[in-house]
C-alpha cells in the first residue's frame, strides 16, 4: 500500500505548577517564601530522516504526546522539565495545521528539525513574587498548557524520474523492468490506482528512483479518469519520461495521445510542463506500421526532446533508456 498522507495529533507537555511554600527552619524565626517554579513541558518535534520513505509508521501511531513538566517544590526546588518527543518523518514531508490550514513546515533536507508543538512554560513559585514590601507572597502560578495541534502530513515522493502517459501505455511494465518494483500490470486502463515507486540501480552504489503514476486522459484536470491528483508525486522529479503507446491495438493516434497528456500536465502546473522530458515510444514489438513510431520520433524532435523506443516483450531499448535516465538525474561525474 502506498501511503502519502496522514493526520497526526500532537500535544506538547504542560508546564508544571509553581509551588507555594515557606521555609521552616530551626532557629530561624520567620522563613521566607520558598516555592519553586514548575518545569517546562516537553516539545514535540518533527525530524526529517532518510530511514523512512513513507508515512506508514505514523498512520498506525497517530497520537504523540510529550511529557509534562513537574511541579515546583518547596526549598526553591524547580520542577524537572518534561522530556521532548521527536517524531521521524521522511524527507519531502510537508506539514499543515488542520485548524488553520497554514503550512507549518516543509522538510527537504535530512536532519532538519522543527518544533510543531511547544511545551508550556512552568508556573512561577511564590518565592519569585517576593519583594522588599511583600515578603510573604502567596501568589504562585499554574503551568501553561502545552500546545496541541492536529497536523496533516503530506509526502510528495522524491522520485528522480516520473513516468507519465495514457492509461495502458506500459508505465508499470517499464518500472517493473528497470527496478524491483512489481506493480500490477494488466491489459486495461487504470490498472494503477496509486503511485508506485521503484529504485533503479545503475550499479551497486548508484541508484535513482522512478515513480509510476496512474494514467492521464483528456480532461484529467477536470477530474476525468483518476484525475491529475497524482501529478503532485512527479512535481519534484528531475525528469519526466513520457510514454506513448505506438502499438496498433490502442486504435488511437499516438500524436494525439502525446498532445493530450502534454495539455493535462500544463493544466496541472506550468513548472511541470517545463520539466525536462524524454519521449518513449512503447510496445514497438506490436507496431506493425513503422509510421506510428516515426510520428512520435518527429514530435520529440520538434520539442527538442530525446527519443527512445522500447519493447518490454523483446527487451529492445530498455537498457539504453535506463542509462539515459541515469545520465539525466545522476551527477555528471558518476553517471555511467
Question: What are the residues binding Mg ion (CB under 5 A)?
Answer: 172, 191-192
187 binds, among Mg ion, ligand GTP, none (CB under 5 to 8 A by kind): ligand GTP
Closer CB to ligand GTP, 8 or 211, in the complex: 211
Q: Does 285 bind ligand GTP (CB under 6 A)?
A: yes
Interface region with ligand GTP, contact rule CB under 6 A, candidates 87-95, 98-106, 281-289, 323-331: 281-289
Closer CB to Mg ion, 191 or 201, in the complex: 191
Exposure of 260 by Cβ count < 10 A (0-12 exposed, 13-18 middle, 19+ buried)?
middle
Closer CB to ligand GTP, 115 or 286, in the complex: 286
Q: Does 32 bind ligand GTP (CB under 6 A)?
A: no
Q: Does 126 bind ligand GTP (CB under 6 A)?
A: no
The answer to whether the CB of 206 falls within 8 A of the CB of 295 is no
Closer CB to ligand GTP, 260 or 286, in the complex: 286
| Residue 318 exposure: Cα atoms within 13 Å on the Cβ side | 18
d(CA 167, CA 177): 18
Task: Give the residue, chosen from 84, 192, 237, 295, that forms a contact with ligand GTP under the rule CB under 6 A.
Answer: 192
Q: Does 78 bind ligand GTP (CB under 6 A)?
A: no
Joined together, the cell numbers standing for residue 44 give 514535540
Joined together, the cell numbers standing for residue 201 give 540501480
The answer to whether the CB of 115 falls within 8 A of the CB of 44 is yes
Task: Give the residue, chosen from 98, 313, 319, 334, that forms a contact with ligand GTP under the rule CB under 6 A.
Answer: 313
Q: Does 168 bind ligand GTP (CB under 6 A)?
A: yes
Q: How far is the CB of 241 from ligand GTP (least distance, A)?
A: 11
| Residue 246 exposure: Cα atoms within 13 Å on the Cβ side | 26
205 binds, among Mg ion, ligand GTP, none (CB under 5 to 8 A by kind): none
Q: Does 217 bind ligand GTP (CB under 6 A)?
A: no
Instruction: For CA atoms 126, 129, 130, 133, give the dihedral sign.
Output: negative
Closest of 173, 171, 314, 291 to residue 230, by C-alpha = 171
Closer CB to ligand GTP, 61 or 256, in the complex: 256
Q: Does 169 bind ligand GTP (CB under 6 A)?
A: yes
**Contacts of residue 230, Cβ cutoff 8 Å, sequence gap at least 6:** 194, 195, 213, 214
Q: Does 161 bind ligand GTP (CB under 6 A)?
A: no
Longest CA pairwise span in the chain (Å): 109
Q: Does 173 bind ligand GTP (CB under 6 A)?
A: yes
Q: Does 153 bind ligand GTP (CB under 6 A)?
A: no
**Contacts of residue 302, Cβ cutoff 8 Å, sequence gap at least 6:** none
Return left, alpha or beta for 328; rule: phi > 0 is left, psi -120 to 50 is alpha, else beta: alpha
Interface region with ligand GTP, contact rule CB under 6 A, candidates 61-69, 188-196, 230-238, 259-267: 188-196
Q: Does 121 bind ligand GTP (CB under 6 A)?
A: no
Closer CB to Mg ion, 68 or 177, in the complex: 177
What secondary structure does DSSP assign to 203-271, as a single string? Answer: SSS-EEEEEE-----TTGGGT-TT-SGGGGGGTT-SEEEEEEE-SGGG-S-HHHHHHHHHHHHHHH-HH
Q: How far is the CB of 105 from ligand GTP (least distance, A)?
A: 33
Binding residues vs ligand GTP (CB under 6 A)? 165, 167-173, 185-187, 189-192, 214-215, 282-283, 285-286, 311-313
Amino acid at each position: 500500500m502506498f501511503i502519502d498522507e496522514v493526520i497526526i495529533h500532537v500535544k506538547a507537555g504542560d508546564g508544571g505548577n509553581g509551588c507555594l511554600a515557606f521555609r521552616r527552619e530551626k532557629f530561624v524565626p520567620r522563613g521566607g517564601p520558598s516555592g519553586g517554579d514548575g518545569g517546562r513541558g516537553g516539545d514535540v518535534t518533527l525530524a526529517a530522516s532518510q530511514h523512512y520513505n513513507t508515512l506508514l509508521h505514523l498512520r498506525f501511531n497517530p497520537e504523540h504526546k510529550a511529557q509534562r513538566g513537574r511541579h515546583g517544590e518547596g526549598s526553591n526546588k524547580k520542577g524537572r522539565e518534561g522530556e521532548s518527543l521527536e517524531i521521524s518523518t521522511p524527507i519531502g514531508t510537508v506539514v499543515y495545521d488542520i485548524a488553520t490550514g497554514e503550512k507549518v513546515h516543509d522538510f527537504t533536507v535530512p536532519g532538519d528539525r522543527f518544533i510543531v508543538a511547544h511545551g508550556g512554560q512552568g508556573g512561577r513559585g511564590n518565592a519569585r513574587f517576593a519583594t522588599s514590601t511583600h515578603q510573604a507572597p502567596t501568589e504562585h502560578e499554574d503551568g501553561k498548557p502545552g500546545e496541541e495541534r492536529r497536523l496533516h502530513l503530506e509526502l510528495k515522493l522524491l522520485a528522480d524520474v516520473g513516468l507519465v502517459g495514457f492509461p495502458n501505455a506500459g508505465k508499470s511494465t517499464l518500472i517493473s523492468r528497470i527496478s524491483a518494483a512489481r506493480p500490477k500490470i494488466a491489459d486495461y486502463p487504470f490498472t494503477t490506482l496509486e503511485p508506485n515507486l521503484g529504485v533503479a540501480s545503475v550499479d551497486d552504489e548508484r541508484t535513482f528512483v522512478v515513480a509510476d503514476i496512474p494514467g492521464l486522459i483528456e480532461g484529467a484536470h477536470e477530474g476525468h479518469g483518476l484525475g491529475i491528483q497524482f501529478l503532485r508525486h512527479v512535481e519534484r522529479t528531475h525528469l519526466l519520461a513520457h510514454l506513448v503507446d505506438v502499438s496498433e491495438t490502442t486504435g488511437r493516434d499516438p500524436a494525439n495521445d502525446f498532445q493530450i497528456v502534454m495539455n493535462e500536465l500544463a493544466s496541472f502546473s506550468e513548472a511541470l510542463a517545463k520539466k525536462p522530458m524524454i519521449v518513449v515510444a512503447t510496445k514497438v514489438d506490436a507496431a506493425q506500421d513503422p509510421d506510428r513510431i516515426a510520428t512520435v520520433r518527429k514530435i520529440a524532435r520538434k520539442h527538442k526532446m530525446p527519443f527512445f523506443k522500447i519493447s518490454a516483450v523483446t527487451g529492445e531499448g530498455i537498457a539504453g533508456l535506463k542509462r539515459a535516465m541515469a545520465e539525466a538525474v545522476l551527477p555528471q561525474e558518476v553517471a555511467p
